Amino acid sequence: MATPDISRRTARFGDFEADCLSGQLRHHGTRVRLPDQSFRMLLLLLERAGEVVTREELRRELWAEDTFVDFEAGMNSAVKRLRDALGDSADTPRFVETLPRRGYRFIAPVELPHLDTRIKSIAVLPLDNLIGDRAQDFFVDGMTDALITRLAQIGALRVTSRTSVMRYRETDKPLPQVARELNVDAVIEGAVTRSGGRVRITAQLVDARTDQHLWAREYERELTDILLLQAEVAQAIADEIQIKVTPQEQARLATARLVKPKAYEAYLRGRFHWDKRTEEGMRKGLALFEQALAEDPSFALSQTGVAECYNMLGYWGVAPPQEVSSNAKAAAMKALEIDPSLAEAHAAQGWTKFAYDWDWTAGEREFRYAIDLKSGYTTAHQWYSHLLIYQGRVAEALTQVERTLELEPVSLVMNSNSALIYMLAHDCDETIERARKTLELDPHFSPPYIWLGWALQKKSMHDEAIDALRRAVPLSGHGPRYLSALGHAYAASDQSSEAIKILVQLEAMATERYVSAYDFAVIYAGLGDVEKTFAALGRAYDERATWLPMIKADPRFESLQSESRFLNLLSKLGLAA
């Protein structure tokens, strides 16, 4: 007999419910911490409630074939953690029964709500490049991104972001599995061809829950009409899935303008580099967005790209705040002059308002407006979570974080951001879990190592913290933010001589490039030098350092929070003590 597919539902049993979409176990509505492997085991048992699931079946499902671990020990540990979370007993089980030498059986009644067959979430998988030139991958990826952006304008439709779907380029995974991992009902597959001045898109819509092909079309236009081509495809998809579209969304969905081919290609190349989120990627992206504007000054998305690059160059402390803030503000304003309804531009302006001007009210207004315009714009939710956590509005910040992960469940940037926000909420265990999950996706992505190091350090696991931060420094290209984090960790572990070496290194670096005074303050705080810490924070205030608004939540300054000078600094930043 076929077993029920619970992968898209919430299963209820006893006083518990397993939310299969968010991967959370709850007891009377309160989340119960459960490791991912134990949760996946629970899902397998729930899907076959009342049946024996063998240890061999569990092994195949929970561990990849090329995994080399002690499966017996791992299995026993996963079962024990599951039972601990459920308050269950192997001797007198209420939920999970052991069948010696065979496996396990879920013995409690399981309730499954009715499965909604409407398509309310979708992923546009990377379109295939049929141009015959791998150098045109950026163009094809840009078409994928454009369809995502168009569909994300529909508030009733949840659309997975580009950063998440790009991990599935040329994947051999079955579509239902991809859909489960991306937490969507349907996927768009397709291809792009280009000949001379014409572009053709073929696209098909697949209900991933049933693997049923619902629709397939082909569209072709001149390259100058590429935005209209994208609008046509997005409109056809919206019509097919019969999603509710408001009149305002309908107008935005259909909006298109002529675009100069060279400007559009430069813009797509800029997005390609921006998505890497490295200093090199942001600088290359910035140059390409500016190249696009030289070709077409009225291209609002390129203006927004310029603002985004400057914002993040400032955030990571690799460019002077005064330089990046003025340029980011100017670019965001120009974008909004061209298109006042551009969500991306409002989000970029929101960042400049609170991060540089410390105008929290204006920043929040811009973020909320960006989200109203385009609820699926993940970066707006991400940046809004920063404003909220910096102000100490923890519950609201975590709500925004969970929204980013709902939209981009496998995004490196959003998973890393979730670890940071939980760290600033002082939940070290959750930070460690989320940082490690991000590093499982890509161990060469540097930001999660910082948040992991902070959390381990907070738990007095100093050797592990230093190890994480040592790994981060070369991956970041020896960025000042990373060096200062390592220097603070050395100081906190009574290795002051190593911390001072990093101070000297940063001072030498500052003679050749910008290094934020905030980074010096971090190390002085670790060394316990209160006077030098406040002197550095004073300079950080004068230079409007981009991490200074985070100081109320930054755990590295906790020892100073009762100081009158610290409270005065919060007041000047517009933050309540």
CATH code, domain carrying 130:
3.40.50.10610
Q: What mean pLDDT do residues 479-485 have? A: 95
CB atoms within 10 A of CB 551: 23
Token code pair at residue 563: 């100081």
R_g of the chain computed on alpha carbons: 25
Contact partners, residue 398, CB within 8 Å, separation at least 6: 385, 421, 422, 425
If residue 201 lies in a helix (H) or strand (E), which one and from where to where? Answer: strand 198-207
Whole-number percent of the chain with pLDDT over 90: 54
Q: pLDDT band for position 251 (50/70/90)?
A: confident
User: Please, is 64 exposed, middle or buried when counting C-beta atoms within 10 Å of its C-beta (0-12, 13-18, 19+)?
Assistant: exposed
Q: Which of 448, 459, 457 has its CA nearest to residue 421?
A: 448
Q: Which of 180, 178, 129, 120 has its CA nearest to residue 154?
A: 120
Contact partners, residue 74, CB within 8 Å, separation at least 6: 37, 62, 63
DSSP 108: S
Contact partners, residue 407, CB within 8 Å, separation at least 6: 158, 159, 160, 161, 164, 376, 378, 381, 414
134 lies in the same domain as 243: yes
CA 389 and chain centroid, separation: 16
Poorest-confidence range of 72-86, 282-296, 496-510, 520-534? 72-86
DSSP-H helix ranges across 55-136: 55-62, 71-86
Residue 381 lies in a domain: no
Q: What pLDDT does 178 receive?
A: 86
Token code pair at residue 112: 């499954």
Q: pLDDT band for position 64 (50/70/90)?
A: low
Residue 42 lies in a domain: yes
Q: Phi/psi at 181 (nearest 5 deg)?
A: -65, -35
CA atoms of 86 and 266, how far apart (whole Å) = 54
CA atoms of 456 and 433, how far apart (whole Å) = 11
Residue 540 lies in a domain: no
Residue 73 lies in a domain: yes
CA atoms of 574 and 577, how far apart (whole Å) = 9
- Compare 7 and 530 and report the one with higher pLDDT: 530
Q: Indicate if the pLDDT at residue 362 is higher than 80.
A: yes
Residue 400 lies in a domain: no
CA 440 and chain centroid, separation: 14
| Residues written for the chain | 577
Token code pair at residue 348: 């970029």
Residue 522 lies in a domain: no
Which residues in 219-248 are b (16+ Cβ under 10 Å) and which e? Answer: bebebebbbbbbbbbbbebbeebebebeee
Q: What pLDDT does 116 receive?
A: 58
Q: Indicate if the pLDDT at residue 114 is higher than 70.
A: no
416 near 445, Cβ under 8 Å? yes
296 near 302, Cβ under 8 Å? yes
List, for residues 511-570, the tens digit of each pLDDT value.
Answer: 999 999 999 999 999 999 999 999 999 999 999 999 999 999 999 999 999 999 999 999
Q: Indicate if the pLDDT at residue 4 is higher than 50.
A: no
Angle between helices 378-390 and 412-424 (to 10 degrees): 10
Sign of CA dihedral 374, 379, 385, 386: negative
Q: What mean pLDDT do residues 476-480 have? A: 92
Among the candidates 224, 241, 257, a domain finishes at 257
Q: pLDDT band for position 346 (50/70/90)?
A: very high
Q: Indicate if the pLDDT at residue 85 is higher than 90.
A: yes
Which residues in 83-113 are b (16+ Cβ under 10 Å) and which e? Answer: bebbebeeeebebbbeeeeebbbbebebebe
Domain CATH number, residue 89: 1.10.10.10
97 lies in the same domain as 162: no
Our CA angle for 107, 113, 115, nearest 5°, is 120
Amino acid, res. 203: A
Contact partners, residue 68, CB within 8 Å, separation at least 6: none
Q: Indicate if the pLDDT at residue 439 is higher than 70.
A: yes
Q: What pLDDT does 2 receive?
A: 38
14 lies in the same domain as 62: yes
251 lies in the same domain as 134: yes
Strands 30-32 and 24-27: what pairing?
antiparallel
431 near 423, Cβ under 8 Å? yes
148 lies in the same domain as 253: yes
Q: What pLDDT does 275 receive?
A: 77
Q: pLDDT band for position 1 (50/70/90)?
A: very low
149 lies in the same domain as 250: yes
Number of domains forming the structure of the chain: 2
Q: What pLDDT does 148 receive?
A: 85
- Compare 462 and 230 and report the one with higher pLDDT: 462
100 lies in the same domain as 157: no
502 near 519, Cβ under 8 Å? no
150 lies in the same domain as 179: yes
Domain hosting 30: range is 10-106
Among the candidates 217, 233, 257, a domain finishes at 257
Sign of CA dihedral 277, 279, 282, 284: negative
Q: What mean pLDDT do residues 470-497 have? A: 95
List, for residues 194-228, the tens digit of each pLDDT value.
Answer: 887 888 888 888 887 777 788 888 888 888 788 77
Residue 439 lies in a domain: no
Q: What pLDDT does 249 receive?
A: 73
CA atoms of 575 and 430, how far apart (whole Å) = 26
- Compare 132 and 467 and report the one with higher pLDDT: 467
Q: What pLDDT does 488 receive?
A: 98
Q: Indicate if the pLDDT at residue 9 is higher than 80.
A: no
Q: What mean pLDDT do residues 494-522 have? A: 96
213 lies in the same domain as 170: yes
List, for residues 397-433, the tens digit of each pLDDT value.
Answer: 999 999 999 888 888 999 999 999 999 999 999 999 9
Among the candidates 207, 228, 257, a domain finishes at 257
CB atoms within 10 A of CB 280: 10
CA atoms of 486 and 165, how far apart (whole Å) = 33
Given its phi and psi angles, is residue 243 left (phi above 0), alpha (psi -120 to 50 degrees) or beta?
beta
Q: Indicate if the pLDDT at residue 174 is higher than 90.
A: no
Q: pLDDT band for position 113 (50/70/90)?
A: low
Q: What pLDDT does 59 receive?
A: 83
* Average pLDDT in the chain: 89
Residue 495 lies in a domain: no
Q: What mean pLDDT do residues 127-143 have? A: 84
86 lies in the same domain as 160: no
CB atoms within 10 A of CB 506: 18
Token code pair at residue 479: 């960025």
Q: What mean pLDDT do residues 351-364 have? A: 96
77 lies in the same domain as 158: no
List, for residues 29-57, the tens digit of each pLDDT value.
Answer: 788 888 888 888 998 898 888 999 998 88
Q: Indicate if the pLDDT at residue 8 is higher than 60.
A: no
64 lies in the same domain as 131: no
- Compare 179 and 1 and report the one with higher pLDDT: 179
Token code pair at residue 116: 């909604």
